[in-house]
Structure formats: structure tokens, C-alpha cells
Amino acid sequence: MTNITNKINQQTITLAGGCFWCKEGAFSQVQGITSATSGYMGGNSNLTSYEEVCSGETGHAEVVQLTFDPTLITYQEILEIFFTLHDPTQLNRQGNDVGTQYRSAIFYHDQEQQNIAKMIIQEMLEEKAFEQPIVTEVCAATTFYSGEDYHQNYFNNNPENQYCQAVVSPKLAKFRKTFVSKLK
């Protein structure tokens, strides 16, 4: 009976903030996150492949779509993690990854998510949490396109990949140190 109840209470959140490998790698380790799927959202094309998205012509962002149990982790806690995993002041880029596909965005799935996201961003602006203005978009979720199979669980499947070693691994190490109490 518990499994049925948990599935009924599950919610979805979709986040963009640079390479989806980093977000998926981190969120897949968090208590209460029941799935983390790399994919694409926010574009103007029905045809989405990694190559098409990387062209910058589809308008899609690399995202991670999370399913979570709100009795174990709140939407606010997920956004707190999200804002530490990337720099929300960089427009259409994260580090050396440049293009609209790497923009910072919160794709909300209902009015409450939209309100909370805007409130958290406003609070961070008022607290001057970052030296530069926050450029994170808050927009309605559109069609989610799951990334190709080889993008799923990428960091765990490819820990020796150069990008994983240079970019993903340091972010995940910082993440683990900061959010140790939230890890599975």
C-alpha cells in the first residue's frame, strides 16, 4: 500500500542549468528523488536529438526532469540544490558550455511551483546572494523529450570521460560535501 501512496503523491520538476549530466548526477543521489532523466525542453521543434539541440536552432535547453516525493524532499529544497549546482547569473552558458541550450531555467508544472520559484529568486535578489543579477527563467513546462539512452546516468556510466573528470566530478564532490544530509 505504501508504494501506491508514494506514486500517487509524486511530483515533477524540470530544471535547466548547463550540462544535464551534472544535474542528473547530483539529483540522482538525493533522498526523495525517485527519478532523474536527462532530456530537452523549452524549444520550438518536435525533432530533438542531442545534435539538433547543440546546434542552438531548436530553442531547447538541456534539462533534468525529476520525479520526487514531497514528503521526503520539498520543491524549495530541490531549488536550493539547483541554485548551488550552477551559476544562475550566467546568460546562456555555464563555464565553457555556451549557447541557449545551457541557459538557466525552471520549468514549472503548476501555479504553486511558479509562485515558489519566483519567490525564491526574489528572496535571493533581495539578499544579494550573487554579485550579478540572476538570469534564471521561470517558464511553463512544455513537452519533455527524453535524452538519448547514452545520456542517461552518464556520469556513473562514464566516470573516466574527460568532461566528467574536469567538470562533472568537481561539481559533484562540492555537492556531496554541501548536501551530505540529503544523500541516499
Tell me the pLDDT tens digit for each residue of 87-101.
999 999 888 889 999
Domains observed in the chain: 2-182 (3.30.1060.10)
Confidence of residue 1 (pLDDT cuts 50, 70, 90): very low
Higher local confidence (pLDDT), 172 or 113: 113
The predicted-structure confidence for 130-169, as pLDDT tens digits, reads as follows 999 999 999 999 999 998 888 888 777 777 888 878 877 8
The predicted-structure confidence for 31-79, as pLDDT tens digits, reads as follows 999 999 999 999 988 877 888 898 888 999 999 999 999 999 999 999 9
Bridging pattern class, strands 11-17 and 61-68 = antiparallel
Confidence (pLDDT) at 2:
42
- Is residue 29 within 8 A of residue 88, CB to CB? The reply is no
Query: Which residues make beta-bridge pairs with 68?
Result: 11, 33
pLDDT of 126 above 80: yes
Of the candidates 128, 139, 146, 122, which has an alpha carbon nearest to the alpha carbon of residue 50? 146
164 has catalytic annotation: no
Residue pointed to by grid coordinates 550573487 = 130
Q: Which of 19, 54, 139, 164 is catalytic?
A: 19
* C-alpha grid cell, residue 138: 521561470
